[in-house]
């Protein structure tokens, strides 16, 4: 069954993909994937001054990072191209002339302006906000409140935003326009042009804004600018994806942690909220942690590797299986990839342990006991957490010691940290010989 739902994400390449743009792109993608429709990427590069190919590239990379693939775009031409506005001049000129001929537009100083009528009421049904109506004389105004005709072609010949979107959405057959709420106020202006040209009107769905802690629209100054910074900060694409999906929307059953395919299945424009949402890093951290827990170990490993490298750890001398199981051994600890990498460093390097722990807390009186115990522990037939723990429990009992007394120093010697997964889990992961080496270094066997 062919599906003709067509949505688009239309960023302007004047900056990287920021969190607000990512949110809009995500919801478009979710809608397209849920309905089986087509997701179009259109580059709105009509600002000659600020648009750059580098930003265009960066936006696409950001989308790829988030796993938001598009079906049509500058790099994926289909029947509705080109996909950059700067390459679609022909249609802007054509329809401008049509408007000029019909007397609905006029030229002034080399620019073409659309004549805004008065006395009309422009109404549209937003899929999220419901019915919105504005009087045409209020649709486009000067600072003093007088009607302001809409510039459609600038003096440099390029189309303006409000005009180009209409022409492109129409000619690209977009039938559902999903964009930020900041565009709700632009919609009446665009509707005027739709009417003047006799174009069929698409459905509109505006999304609540994402606000910063100060409740102001996210600007480049606050928080991370591009989605890549979230990567560097330790967030998973799936974490950002999941977290962003929860801003302004939630599945009917209240599930908060979900995979991409679950999100696609569950997504519903009808349950998008209207209230602007404040971005809460604590929640992102939590969602990110949950995503790390359910992620495929080998996939997670690919992401953690660069973080380990940044910590100066030599991961090349270990197999992927060892590294992946080290990550698994962390048992869900750490909220970000950055933390996970840092917390697990002792699986890769004993040097980091030596730097952190000098063993000067060990009282000489108990060293003999520890030596005796660790020596025997290293000889258990089966170097698994279960066996080691069982062995230890009986040992401390018959030697009038305690779990605390022997396990805590062991943790320090093995990890150089106060906190870690179960110490026998750590020991098993490190392996008998590595444990022997570390204990020997601290003169504990």
Partner RNA sequence: GGUCCCAUCGUCCAGAGGCCUAGGACACAGCCCUUUCAAGGCUGCGACACGAGUUCGAAUCUCGUUGGGACCGCCA
Residue 47 interacting with RNA (CB under 7 A):
yes
Residue closer to RNA, measured from CB, 115 or 417: 417
Q: Which is nearer to RNA, 75 or 280 (CB)?
A: 280
Decide: is 338 part of the binding site for RNA (CB under 7 A).
no
Closest distance to RNA from the beta carbon of 335 (Å):
6
Nearer to RNA, 4 or 219 (CB): 219
Q: Cα–Cα distance between 419 and 408 in angstroms, integer?
A: 10
Binding status of residue 271 toward RNA by CB under 7 A? yes
Burial grade of 102 (CB within 10 A; 0-12, 13-18, 19 or more): exposed
* CB 314 within 8 Å of CB 347: no
Q: Active-site residue 115, yes or no?
A: no
Q: How far apart are CA 297 and CA 300, in angstroms?
A: 5
State in angstroms the smallest separation of the CB of 78 from RNA.
21
Name the helix (H) or strand (E) containing 9.
strand 6-9
Number of residues that bind RNA (CB under 7 A): 89
Based on the shown chain and the rule CB under 7 A, indicate whether residue 53 belongs to the binding site for RNA: no
Task: List, in sequence order, every beta strand (DSSP E) within 247-367.
Answer: 277-278
Contact residue for RNA among 421, 436, 439, 444 (CB under 7 A) = 421
Cis (ω within 30 of 0) for the bond into 192? no
Looking at 220, 274, 293, 418, which residue is catalytic? 220
- Residue 129 in contact with RNA, rule: CB under 7 A: yes
Contact present, 142 and 184 (Cβ < 8 Å):
no
Q: In whole angstroms, how far apart are CA 67 and each of 30, 63, 98, 226, 261?
A: 11, 6, 41, 15, 12
Farthest CA pair distance, the chain: 101
Task: Please give the residues from 386 up to 405 whose contact with RNA meets the rule CB under 7 A.
Answer: 389, 403-404
List 114, 241, 249, 391, residue binding RNA (CB under 7 A):
249
Q: How far apart are CA 282 and CA 258, in angstroms?
A: 18
For residue 214, what are the CA distances in angstroms to 93, 211, 284, 308?
Answer: 43, 7, 17, 35
Nearer to RNA, 49 or 316 (CB): 49
Q: Does 111 bind RNA (CB under 7 A)?
A: yes
To the nearest whole angstrom, how small is the minimum distance from the Cβ of residue 321 to RNA?
A: 21
Least CB distance to RNA at residue 2 (A): 29
Could you tell me the smallest distance in angstroms from the CB atom of residue 208 to RNA? 6
Nearer to RNA, 5 or 14 (CB): 14
Q: Is 280 in the site for RNA (CB under 7 A)?
A: yes
Q: Which strands make up the sheet holding 111-114, listed edge to edge?
A: 105-108, 111-114, 150-153
From 65-73, 228-236, 248-256, 320-328, give the range in contact with RNA by CB under 7 A. 248-256
Query: Between residues 24 and 231, which has the closer beta carbon with respect to RNA?
Result: 24
Instruction: Tell me which residues are annotated as active site.
Output: 220
């Amino acid at each position: 069954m062919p599906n003709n739902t067509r949505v688009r994400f239309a960023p302007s390449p004047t900056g990287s993909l920021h969190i607000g743009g990512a949110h809009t792109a995500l919801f478009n993608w979710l809608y397209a994937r849920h309905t089986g429709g087509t997701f179009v990427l259109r580059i709105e590069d009509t600002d000659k001054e600020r648009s750059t190919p580098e930003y265009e590239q960066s936006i696409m990379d950001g989308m790829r990072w988030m796993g938001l693939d598009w079906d049509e775009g500058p790099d994926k031409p289909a029947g509705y191209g080109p996909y950059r506005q700067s390459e679609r001049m022909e249609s802007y000129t054509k329809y401008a002339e049509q408007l000029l001929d019909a007397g609905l537009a006029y030229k002034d100083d080399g620019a073409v302006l659309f004549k805004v009528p008065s006395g009309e009421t422009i109404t549209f049904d937003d899929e999220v906000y419901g019915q919105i109506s504005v009087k045409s004389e209020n649709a486009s105004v000067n600072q003093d409140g007088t009607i302001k005709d809409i510039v459609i072609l600038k003096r440099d010949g390029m189309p303006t935003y409000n005009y180009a979107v209409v022409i492109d959405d129409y000619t690209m057959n977009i039938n559902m326009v999903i964009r930020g709420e900041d565009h709700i106020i632009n919609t009446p202006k665009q509707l005027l042009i739709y009417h003047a040209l006799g174009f069929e009107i698409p459905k509109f769905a505006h999304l609540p804004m994402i606000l910063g802690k100060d409740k102001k629209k996210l600007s480049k100054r606050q928080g991370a600018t591009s989605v890549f910074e979230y990567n560097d900060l330790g967030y998973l694409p799936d974490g950002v994806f999941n977290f962003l999906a929860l801003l302004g929307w939630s599945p009917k059953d209240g599930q908060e942690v979900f995979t991409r395919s679950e999100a696609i299945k569950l997504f519903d424009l009808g349950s998008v909220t209207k209230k602007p949402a404040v971005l809460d890093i604590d929640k992102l951290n939590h969602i990110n942690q949950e995503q790390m827990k359910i992620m495929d170990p080998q996939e997670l490993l690919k992401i953690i590797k660069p973080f380990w490298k940044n910590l100066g750890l030599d991961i090349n001398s270990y197999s992927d299986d060892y590294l992946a199981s080290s990550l698994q051994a962390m048992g869900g600890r750490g909220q970000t990839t950055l933390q996970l990498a840092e917390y697990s460093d002792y699986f890769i390097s004993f040097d980091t342990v030596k730097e952190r722990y000098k063993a000067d807390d060990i009282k000489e009186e108990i060293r003999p006991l520890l030596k005796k115990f660790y020596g025997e522990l290293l000889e258990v037939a089966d170097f698994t957490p279960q066996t080691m723990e069982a062995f230890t429990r009986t040992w401390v009992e018959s030697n009038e010691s305690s779990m605390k007394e022997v396990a805590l120093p062991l943790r320090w010697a093995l990890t150089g940290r106060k906190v870690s997964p179960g110490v026998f889990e750590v020991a098993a992961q490190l392996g008998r010989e590595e444990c022997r080496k570390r204990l020997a270094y601290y003169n504990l066997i």
